[in-house]
A and B are shown apart, each in its own frame.
Chain A
Amino acid sequence: MNASLSTNPSTTALRLSQNIKLYKFHGGVHPPFHKKDSNQKPIEFAGIPERLIVPIHQHIGKTAELVVSVGDKVKKGQLIAEKSDFISAAIHAPTSGKISFIGEHSIPHPSGLTEICAVIDTDGKDDWGDYKLTPIEDPANADYSELLDRIEQAGIVGLGGAVFPTAVKLAGASQQNKNKIKTLIINGAECEPYITCDDRLMQDRSADIVKGIQVIQTLIKPENCQIAIEDNKPEAIAAMRAATADFSDIEVIAIPTIYPSGGEKQLIEILTGKEVRSGGLPIELGLMCSNVGTTYSIYKAIYLGEPLLSRIITVTGNGIQHPQNFEVLIGTPFSHLAQQAGGYTKMAENLIMGGPMMGFAIPDDDVPVIKATNCALFISATSLRESNPAFSNQPTLPCIRCGKCMEVCPVKLLPQQLYWHIRAKDFEKAEDHSLRDCIDCGCCSYVCPSHIPLVDYFRFGKSEIREQKVALEKADLSRQRHEFLLYRKERDKRERDEKRAAHKAALQEKKAAAKPNGANGEQSSSPKADAIKAAMERAKAKKQARTESEQSDAKTKETSSKTNTKANTEEAQ
């Protein structure tokens, strides 16, 4: 399949017909892509299920705060949970109905993890009530903050998988004048096998995507805009080229089909030949990436006044009767999606949210789709790694250091060395080999002739290192606190001693003054005046000591709060 894709003359022609130099990122793989399974039919609405399970934490950042309670009637678009922090996003009721339950429900997670969800018993009326926002008629001339507020209100997050609040990202891009955005990159690469939601979206709603792009352009004012699409999606490329024909500053670029070209940093390397600094952001290079799905939601929020209530999801795999793309309300259970796609086949043995390279398996279909769900892949065990009869008699063998993993790693790591060090739990060495730069793309595991689940080792290594760091920071903090305690004790003791000494000295002085000194008669002042003077000096000393200690107090507090905020931001990331 991949061979036919890369040698397809029409795709090569697509690439050659454009007048732009593209670059290559290191490595990458060509897994069987299975795009045709699901991209033949247009997007359909998946319907309103009887019950919607809406988790209130679907984004990166702080959990949203619930503003409804059990028994409340909600209209479509009504706020269920509001943005609770700088990095957070609002959640809305995807349709009208009644809140029947608020509490723990399993969310899409390999372990069947639960989280607070609001369950809506839908009434089927899909009634907006007064909750539809007013469309912004002329976004090009609209106020900057009006547009940004709307995007924030609509609860839009990055739909490419990162689910980072879009308003925060856009605000960051438009404020930083130092890093002026030169190019806006619209990511329509969709390199994961099986997934076609962006492909179909670009085919069916290209004009709306372009409107969304224009909103982003108004906000961040880039010099130009590039829409990058892998050349195994010629229909999507044609549709987007047609839709952007009138805009000289928007260019549709066909990029070679290779996984993981859709990774943000990889896509940037393909288009510009530049590397985003390790731990850095594209904004440093004057670039910003936005997924086509996100761009489409921006269009909906601005032009239609609709918050993010639904998204396009690919329902595919040999476990499903009729693979297809659906527009799905957030909170729809996977089981409902399977029904819409004609029900299960006998081969429905695994459910994967996302693609086969980076997605994760879900143990149960009674979990809801969330803002991050781009694909529901129902697939037989035999088409998957290790269960495949082609290598079922080949269990994981030892690493022979053949270096295939190194050849395909898009970030040029040495997976064979990382594997050694993590197996030996030598995490320091693993960090020396830049483990933190691993993007979990799975290319190394994919090519490994020994079938070693390398990515699992790397995830384990990363989480261990993270835990160690947290532990280290905690230890640091308690050490600081302990040191401060010691210092405080010392200081108090010193102060007491000083006080005592001063008191003693004063007393002695007094005594000495009280003694008759007939020899010279130098004693000019009275004992009373002396006592007053001594008292004033004491007070002065005390005051000084206090201000000193306060200053040092403040210093220690400052450092400890610094570590706290640092820990917080790291957690948020």
Chain B
Amino acid sequence: MKFKTKTSPFFNSSQNINSVMLQVLIALIPGTLTLMYFFGAGIFLNVIISIVFAVSLEIFALIIRKRPLLPFLSDLSAIVTAWLFALTLPPLVPWWIIFVGVFFAIIVAKHLYGGLGYNPFNPAMVGFAVLIVSFPFEMSQWIHPRTFEGLGAYDFGLVEQLGFIFGDQKPAWDAITMATPLDEVKTGLRAGTDYGKVLEGSTYLQTFSQNTWIWSSLAFILGGIWLLYKKVIQWQIPAALLGTLGFISAVFYIFSGDSFASPLFHITSGATILGAFFIATDPVSASTTPIGKLIYGASIGFFIYIIRVWGNYPDAIAFAVLIMNMAVPMIDYYTQPRVFGHKPSFFSSGATQRKQDKKS
């Protein structure tokens, strides 16, 4: 009797890429819902519009690259990228801005580099970086959150909001938007105001419970814990990122509490938590070795602080992540774990390991 031949191992666990990606999507839900509570349906619309654009562009790219559609669409990676990208957008941003961002994320950062698994840079962050550089005005129009007394996006109906996004009609930006805490603090401190005074004067930051960003950060932490529990991500990157950011900001805060913001402020503001658990942990563009992940995460935390405090942009997750993406191949090469039966060496490549083995 004749039999078919294959190569070992003949077994496979039931894990798939799409089951991994699905966990990421599930983990994004609490944070997204929290943002929706504060900023209204605009957040939801951003997510939906981004996903529609991303999937369409993904199909387009797959067709011209002559790749099979079903396996590459069902891996859900385009949806994850789109969703993460959407969470960086302020509500009611015009549709064509979303399109430009998604185009750069999916076509330029992902498919021009070879598609899933081959992108050296985080696609969502490439999309965001292009927008913040090209359209700084539109990208900084964050509307009033629900906790603010006054007109907010949640006051508009869904159709009205769609009109803002797709139509010519624009809201009176000045009436409904305000600076984000990061902006407010940065501007205040640059003007020489004491940190305490800035907080007092801030509409956002007066009370803890009213701080939109603290609540959404908590919700994203929940998602992050889910990812850790499901072993989709490892602890190294978020821990190193938050630890470093917390440590540096604490040093400066202790050194001069009047001219530098507190560690709590840095960790709960902007996209810190989202970045630590969802963006810096993107496996394709992040470092992959255990020690490498610590170095990678810590460096991102370092650059976030530098860019936030001395840079020109209010938030810095995207730039910090993109800078470190470039360093990943080198980090990975020099942080190979000690292989079974080899001499211990903390900071080494395989080449140095071999040399040591030869010597002994």
List residues of chain A with CB under 8 Å of any chain B CB.
Answer: 25-26, 29, 31-32, 110, 193, 265, 269, 275-280, 335, 338, 344, 348-352, 354, 356-365, 379, 381, 384-386, 388, 390-391, 393-395, 397-404, 406, 410-414, 416-417, 431-434, 437, 440, 442, 445-451, 453, 455-456, 459
Q: Which residues of A contact B74 (CB under 8 A)?
A: 393-394
Segment at the interface with A among B7-15, B55-63, B214-222, B298-306: B7-15
Tell me whether A385 and B350 are in contact (CB under 8 A): no
- Using A406-B288, A411-B339, A437-B340 as known contacts, say yes or no to A381 and B283 having CB atoms under 8 A apart: no
Contact partner of A403 among B68, B283, B357, CB < 8 A?
A: B283
Q: How many angstroms from the CA of A362 to the CA of B4 in the assembled complex?
A: 8
**Closest CB of chain A to B325's CB: distance in Å?**
12
- Point out the residue from B17, B114, B349 that lies within 8 Å of A449, measured CB to CB: B17
Candidates A278, A385, A397, A440; contact of B11 at CB < 8 Å: A385
B6–A384 CB distance below 8 A:
yes
CA distance A359 to B11 in the complex (A): 11
Which of B142-150, B153-161, B189-197, B330-338 participates in binding chain A?
Answer: B330-338
Contact of A110 among B5, B75, B289, B342 (CB under 8 A): B5
What are 28 sample pairs from A and B whose C-beta atoms fall under 8 A apart?
A: A110-B5, A269-B340, A278-B339, A279-B357, A348-B3, A351-B3, A352-B8, A352-B10, A358-B8, A358-B9, A359-B8, A361-B5, A361-B10, A362-B5, A384-B6, A394-B16, A395-B71, A398-B117, A399-B117, A400-B20, A400-B117, A416-B288, A417-B332, A433-B350, A442-B8, A442-B11, A445-B12, A455-B7
**Which residues of A sit under 8 angstroms from B342, Cβ to Cβ?**
278, 434, 437
A386 touches B12 (CB 8 A): yes
- What chain B residues lie within 8 Å of A356 (beta carbons)? 8-11
Q: Please report the C-alpha to C-alpha distance between residue A468 and residue B178 in the assembled complex, in whole angstroms.
A: 66
Task: Say yes or no: A363 contacts B13, CB within 8 Å.
Answer: no
CB of B209 within 8 Å of the partner chain:
no
Taking CB atoms, residues of chain B closer than 8 Å to A349 are 3-4
Are B11 and A193 within 8 A (Cβ)?
yes
Check A442 against B9 for contact (C-beta < 8 Å): yes
Given A361-B4, A414-B289, A401 contacting B283 (CB threshold 8 A): yes
Query: Which residue in chain A gives the minimum CB-CB distance to B70?
Result: A393
Chain A contacts for B15, CB-based, 8 A? 404, 447-449
In the complex, the answer to whether B288 meets A414 with C-beta atoms within 8 Å is yes
Chain A residues in 8 Å Cβ range of B338:
412
Chain B, range 1-52, C-beta contacts under 8 Å to A: 1-20
Q: Which residues of A contact B341 (CB under 8 A)?
A: 265, 275-280, 411, 437
B232 proximity list for chain A (CB < 8 A): 402
Q: How large is the interface on B (under 10, 10 to 19, 20 to 34, 35 or more residues)?
A: 35 or more
A360: B residues at CB distance < 8 A: 7-8
Tell whether, in the assembled complex, residue B337 and residue A362 are in contact, meaning their CB atoms are under 8 Å apart: no
Ordered nearest first, which 6 A-B pairs have the shortest CB separation? A398-B117, A442-B9, A432-B350, A278-B341, A411-B340, A361-B5
Q: How far is the CA of A232 from the CA of B62 in the complex (A)?
A: 48
Tell me the bound Cα distance from A110 to B10 in angstroms.
13
Among A391, A414, A445, the residue within 8 A (CB) of B9 is A445
Instruction: Name the residue on A nearest B360 (C-beta).
Output: A277
Q: Are A412 and B337 in contact (CB under 8 A)?
A: yes
- Confirm or deny: B351 has a beta carbon within 8 angstroms of a beta carbon on chain A: yes
B6-A350 in contact (CB<8A): yes
In the complex, which of the residues A401, A411, A417, A453 contacts B117, with contact meaning CB atoms closer than 8 Å? A401
**CA gap between A437 and B341 in the complex, in Å:** 9
Q: Is B163 an interface residue (CB 8 A)?
A: no
A391 touches B7 (CB 8 A): no
Of B17, B68, B350, B357, most buried by chain A (CB within 10 Å of CB) is: B350
CB distance from B284 to the nearest CB of A (A): 5
Classify the interface of chain A: helix, strand, loop or mixed. loop
Assess the A400–B12 pair: CB atoms within 8 A: no
Q: Which residues of B contact A437 (CB under 8 A)?
A: 339-342
Residues from chain A with a CB closer than 8 A to the CB of B288 are 401, 403, 406, 414, 416-417
Interface residue? B177 (CB, 8 A): no
Tell me whether B353 is interfacial, beta carbon within 8 Å: yes
- Given contact pairs A385-B12, A433-B350, a sample of 20 additional A-B residue pairs in the complex whose CB atoms are under 8 Å apart: A26-B340, A31-B11, A269-B340, A356-B11, A357-B10, A361-B5, A365-B1, A385-B10, A386-B12, A393-B71, A400-B116, A401-B117, A402-B232, A402-B283, A403-B288, A414-B288, A414-B332, A432-B354, A434-B354, A456-B7
Does B90 make an interface contact (CB < 8 A)? no
In the complex formed, the residue of A with least CB distance to B68 is A395
Q: Once bound together, how far apart are the Cα atoms of A29 and B12, in whole Å?
A: 11
Most A CB within 10 A of own CB, among B4, B13, B288: B13
CA distance A241 to B286 in the complex (A): 50
B234 within 8 A of A: yes
CA distance A474 to B155 in the complex (A): 81
- Inter-chain CA distance A445–B6, complex, in Å, is 13
Asked if B347 is an interface residue, CB under 8 A from chain A, the answer is: no
Q: How far is the CB of B6 from chain A (nearest CB, A)?
A: 5
Most buried by A among B1, B11, B349: B11
Q: Which residues of chain A are within 8 angstroms of B7 by Cβ–Cβ distance?
A: 110, 360-361, 453, 455-456, 459
Q: In the complex where A360-B7, A434-B350 touch, is A412 in contact with B13 (Cβ < 8 A)?
A: no
Q: Name the interface residues of B313-360: CB closer than 8 Å to any CB of A.
A: 332-333, 336-342, 349-351, 353-354, 357
Question: Is B118 in contact with chain A by the CB < 8 A criterion?
Answer: yes
| Complex alpha-carbon distance, A22 and B74, angstroms | 43
User: A352 to nearest B CB, angstroms?
Assistant: 6
Shortest Cβ distance from A443 into B: residue: B9
Q: A398-B115, A411-B340, A414-B337 are in contact. Are A29 and B13 (CB under 8 A)?
A: yes
Please, which residues of chain A bring their CB within 8 A of the CB of B1?
Answer: 335, 338, 344, 348, 364-365
Q: List B contacts of A391 (CB < 8 A).
A: 12, 14, 16
Q: Specify which chain A residues have a CB less than 8 angstroms from the CB of B20 in the assembled complex.
A: 400, 402, 449
Question: Which residue in B2, B75, B336, B357 is a CB contact (below 8 Å) of A364?
Answer: B2
**How distant is A273 from chain B, measured CB to nearest CB, in Å?**
13
Question: Chain A contacts of B14 at CB under 8 A?
Answer: 390-391
Q: A335-B1, A365-B1 are in contact. Are A414 and B8 (CB under 8 A)?
A: no
Q: How far is the CA of A484 from the CA of B340 in the complex (A)?
A: 42
- Inter-chain CA distance A395–B19, complex, in Å, is 15
Known contacts being A265-B340, A278-B357, A437-B339, is A361 close to B6, with CB within 8 Å?
Answer: yes
Q: How far is the CA of A348 from the CA of B338 in the complex (A)?
A: 43
Bound-complex Cα distance A121 to B232 (A): 59
Q: Across the interface, do B10 and A447 meet the contact criterion of CB distance under 8 Å?
A: no
- Shortest C-beta distance, B128 to chain A (Å), equals 21
> Whose C-beta in chain B lies nearest to the C-beta of A390?
B14
A412–B335 Cα gap in the complex (Å)?
13
Chain A hits for B6, CB < 8 A = 350, 361, 384-386
A61 CA to B286 CA in the complex, in Å? Answer: 46
Q: Report the separation of the CA atoms of residues A350 and B9 in the bound assembly, to the nearest whole angstrom.
A: 13
Q: Are A359 and B340 CB-contacts (below 8 A) given A391-B16, A400-B284?
A: no
Per-position binary interface string of chain B over residues 78-114, scored 1 when its CB falls under 8 Å from any chain A CB and 0 otherwise:
0000000000000000000000000000000000001
Measured between C-beta atoms, what is the minimum distance from B71 to chain A in Å? Answer: 6
Chain B residues within 8 Å of A276, by CB: 341
Least CB separation from B357: chain A residue: A278
